[in-house]
Structure 1
Amino acid sequence: MTQSYLPTITGVVVLVPEARDIVPWAHITILAPFGQQPAPTAGELAELEEFFAGEMPFAYELTQICTFPSGMRYLSPEPVSAFSRLTHGLHQLFPEYPPYEGAFDLVIPHLTIPDDAVVEPLPIQAHARIATLLHLEDGVYTELASFPFGTSAA
């Protein structure tokens, strides 16, 4: 029997197509893990749809390469507050799903990049218009649902 050591996780993310040349599934996590496993409930999906319909699309930049204490490299988005606000809002709505299972006192919005990634030039201009429910299993990403941001603040 072969056992996989790759993670299985579902999370709410903002995909970053502007950075797909660096990372094929480039994304900034809003809340992970998320939902009942193996799939979120219909009620959870409806709440996500309503939450993001009340959010305005926004522009942001990936401004610099940073490194977590673990050695993992990432691109930092600006304004970071826009992503932090989304994470805080979803956690308030779904307190049973703390970001990263509560492993970190401070959640830092980021786009993880490989150690050997060539990232030039910076900044990378990007737009957040849609949140995606993304599932990772055995190294394969699957988009489960998408939630467009609203056109005006609710």
Structure 2
Amino acid sequence: MADDNTSTFQAGQTGLIVRIPEAEPAVRGWRERLDPSAQAGVPAHVTVLFPFLDESRIDTLVHSALADVLGGHQAFDLRFARCGRLPEVLYLVPEPDTQLRQLTEAIAARWPEAPPYGGRFVEIVPHLTVAQGQESAVLEEIEAGVAGGLPFTSHVASVELMVYDGVKWQERASFALGE
């Protein structure tokens, strides 16, 4: 999911994502080759919180609490019109990103033992990873290729709980946002 290598995924890890199926035509080929999360079965997405709780901790009470927290946030639309960069990472920029940040903050506040990005980064930067681990020249080539598929919009009405089973990421539950 969030800028990790498949060799670092561990069975039982979980994450919360917003699927962005409208991105697939523009990014699928690049993600399948250059994004370890795509290679491990994660669709085009913006991460809400990764890592979340270990799968062994996710029970009916956690499901109910997730439904309550997420149901308190309204569904929203995102527009993807440009790319952004982090070191060795090319991503699509969701705009506006306020609602995504609010989802992350709300879940992290409810489960402080699961800080965004495992606490590695202070700032929350919502993004849809296209490629990572590449040099700048390669990222420039990919960006030029992706530009033809922009802009597009996506309606966000749910957040998915993904679980890594040791081989692939699988969706385990979907939580509706308010309408």
Task: Name which of structure 1's ranges 18-27 and 142-151 shifts more when overlaid on structure 2.
Answer: 18-27
Give the counterpart of 1:97 among 106, 114, 136: 114
Distance change (3 Å), C-alpha of 1:139 and 1:65: farther
Q: Does the CA-based 8 Å contact 2:55-2:163 persist in structure 1? A: no
Give the counterpart of 2:154 among 112, 123, 126: 126
Q: Which residue of 2 aligns with 1:75?
A: 92
TM-score between the two structures when normalised by the length of structure 1: 0.86
**Inter-partner Cα distance in structure 2 for 1:7 and 1:80:** 26
- Between structures 1 and 2, the one with greater helix share: 2
- Between structures 1 and 2, the one with greater strand share: 1
**Distance apart, 1:124 and its partner CA:** 1.6
**Inter-partner Cα distance in structure 1 for 2:62 and 2:50:** 14
Percent of paired sites with the same residue: 30
**Inter-partner Cα distance in structure 1 for 2:167 and 2:127:** 19
Distance change (3 Å), C-alpha of 1:139 and 1:127: farther
Task: Give CA-to-partner distance per residue, 1:18-73, whole Å, 9 cap, x none.
Answer: 1122236101011111113346222111111111211111011112111102x111
Counterpart residue type for residue 78 of structure 1: E
Q: Does the CA-based 8 Å contact 1:35-1:44 persist in structure 2? A: no
Task: Give CA-to-partner distance per residue, 1:76-133, whole Å, 9 cap, x none.
Answer: 1000111111111111111110011100011200000135473223222111101000
Measured on the aligned residues, the alpha-carbon RMSD in Å equals: 1.9
**Inter-partner Cα distance in structure 1 for 2:125 and 2:163:** 21
Provide structure 2 residue ranges, at least 5 long, that are not aligned to the other structure: 1-5, 29-37, 132-138
**Inter-partner Cα distance in structure 2 for 1:39 and 1:135:** 12
